[in-house]
């Protein structure tokens, strides 16, 4: 219960128009921006879009079996704002992933035992069955954290302001309900008995008022109207102040909600949008990028980034002036511009357009200027470039294979860790049989997921069953090295 005497819950907060509008603006803006994957050919330098990564479909095509990317990202923002934390389990499906949101009201974040370990998570299904998840098994994006392991929601921070706003909405509704019935005092020259006073009070609130708002009085009863109170007169100012207060909790300029008396000119709309992106939305994008790159992306030199350019669309004159400058300075190729405008490619459009004033020699002129030695050297350069391109392609293929092997190895190690944790609660006589049964199945999984030979997988599992193991990170490296350098199963 707030100081205004109103209980603020999630459903009640959504009845506050400003809270709902801010939640809608941020969640829909976050959902509009696609998360794309990149691959750096050389660390810190040239990067290209990556369409064959194992997490491409989870981000841009189908995050899970029932949600679209828009729906998933909107859920991300709503859970983060309403509950303070967005949680989604990372489920490996073959060579790809599924991102399954966890309901914040059915998931408990357990405080870590010490400063070195991360939190754990207990989630309950709709049937009430609990499951425990580790930090590396899910995406956890908190809003603002003072404790360092879970976030605080806007609903919790703005509780008192929401209570005031809901109380004013309730008062406004009761004021409208009275309609044209003025508040006042009924007087009579004679003394009323308690029974007559009760009957007059009932009549004054019901039968004495006509449909047109006229009060019908009898027997010398007079009505003295009271003026509207200062609190009622200042209702609009109080409502506008509450709108600005709620908007500040979300970091939104209240002019975006339509409550600015000063307004803004058309010339400043683009700057207004840029300010909204940098001040309000960019923290959400940065936090989501870092969480995805930490939990989901396991391949080296791969990373996820949100395309903020999707939110900025200048007028057509400004846009084409920028394209012209980029083309003239060889920043863009013609096909780059056509791609940004959703136009099909054009033959020969992948080469930069030369600057104005630079004359390009014809093929005949170039051939006449090149001597026999130059032609021989040019052939050597072309052959060298061809070999370098082949080496880069081979390096890229090896990098992709190592990334997929590392993702599969992490999943296998997590499964083994869960088995070892469950083994402590098993009976003493059943442990040997359970260990033997698990590692027999585990060897088959190594053959299937990592492509190890049957004998190689059996030897590795026998060593693990006999207690000759290492840390989680070292185990993942061993499996990846076996997958990349060991023999393949037939």
**What integer pLDDT is reported at residue 295 of this predicted model?**
87
User: Whole-angstrom Cα distance, residue 59 to residue 296?
Assistant: 10
**What integer pLDDT is reported at residue 168 of this predicted model?**
80
Exposure string of 106-145, with b = 16+ CB inside 10 Å and e = fewer, is ebebeeeeeeeeebbbebeeeeeeeeebeeebbbbbbbee
Mean pLDDT, the chain, whole residue set: 78
Question: pLDDT tens across 182-221, in order?
Answer: 566 667 667 766 776 776 666 666 554 444 455 555 566 6
**What integer pLDDT is reported at residue 314 of this predicted model?**
65
Q: Indicate yes or no: pTM above 0.85.
A: no
Helix H segments across 137-229?
A: 154-157, 159-178, 194-205
Question: pLDDT tens across 284-321, in order?
Answer: 999 999 999 888 887 777 888 898 877 776 667 777 78
Question: pLDDT tens across 110-159, in order?
Answer: 988 876 678 899 999 888 899 999 888 899 999 888 778 888 888 888 88
């Amino acid at each position: 219960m707030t100081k205004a005497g109103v209980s603020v819950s999630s459903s009640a907060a959504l009845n506050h128009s400003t809270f709902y509008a801010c939640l809608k603006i941020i969640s829909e803006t976050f959902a509009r921006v696609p998360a794309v994957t990149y691959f750096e050919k050389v660390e810190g330098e040239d990067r290209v879009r990556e369409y064959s990564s194992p997490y491409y479909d989870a981000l841009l095509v189908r995050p899970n079996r029932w949600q679209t990317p828009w729906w998933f990202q909107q859920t991300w923002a709503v859970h983060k704002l309403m509950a303070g934390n967005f949680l989604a389990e990372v489920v490996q499906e073959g060579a790809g992933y599924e991102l399954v949101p966890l309901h914040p009201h059915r998931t408990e974040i357990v405080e870590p035992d010490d400063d070195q370990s991360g939190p754990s998570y207990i989630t309950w299904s709709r049937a009430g069955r609990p499951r425990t998840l580790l930090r590396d098994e899910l995406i956890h994006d908190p809003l603002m954290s003072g404790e360092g392991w879970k976030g605080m929601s806007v609903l919790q921070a703005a509780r008192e302001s929401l209570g005031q706003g809901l109380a004013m909405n309730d008062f406004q509704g009761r004021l409208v309900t009275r309609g044209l019935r003025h508040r006042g005092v009924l007087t009579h020259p004679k003394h009323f008995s308690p029974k007559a006073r009760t009957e007059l009070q009932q009549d004054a609130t019901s039968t004495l008022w006509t449909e047109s708002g006229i009060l019908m009085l009898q027997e010398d009863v007079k009505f003295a109207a009271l003026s509207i109170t200062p609190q009622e007169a200042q209702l609009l100012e109080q409502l506008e102040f509450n709108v600005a207060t709620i908007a500040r909790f979300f970091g939104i300029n209240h002019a975006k909600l339509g409550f600015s008396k000063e307004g803004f000119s058309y010339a400043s709309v683009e700057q207004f949008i840029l300010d909204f992106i940098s001040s309000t939305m960019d923290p959400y994008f940065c936090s989501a990028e870092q969480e995805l790159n930490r939990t989901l992306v396991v391949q080296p030199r791969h990373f996820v980034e949100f395309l903020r350019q999707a939110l900025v669309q200048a007028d057509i004159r400004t846009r084409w002036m920028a394209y012209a400058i980029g083309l003239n300075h060889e920043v863009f190729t013609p096909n780059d511009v056509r791609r940004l405008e959703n136009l099909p490619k054009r033959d020969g459009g992948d080469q930069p357009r030369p600057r104005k004033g630079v004359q390009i020699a014809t093929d005949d002129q170039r051939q006449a200027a090149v001597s026999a030695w130059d032609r021989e050297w040019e052939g050597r350069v072309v052959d060298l470039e061809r070999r370098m391109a082949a080496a880069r392609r081979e390096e890229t293929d090896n990098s992709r294979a190592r990334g997929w092997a590392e993702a599969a190895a992490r999943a296998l190690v997590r499964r083994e860790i869960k088995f070892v944790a469950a083994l402590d609660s098993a009976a003493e006589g059943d442990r040997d049989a359970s260990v033997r049964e698990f590692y027999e199945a585990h060897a088959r999984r190594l053959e299937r997921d990592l492509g190890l030979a049957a004998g190689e997988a059996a030897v590795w599992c026998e060593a693990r069953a006999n207690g000759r193991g290492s840390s989680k990170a070292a185990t993942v490296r061993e499996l990846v090295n076996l997958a990349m350098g060991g023999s393949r199963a037939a």
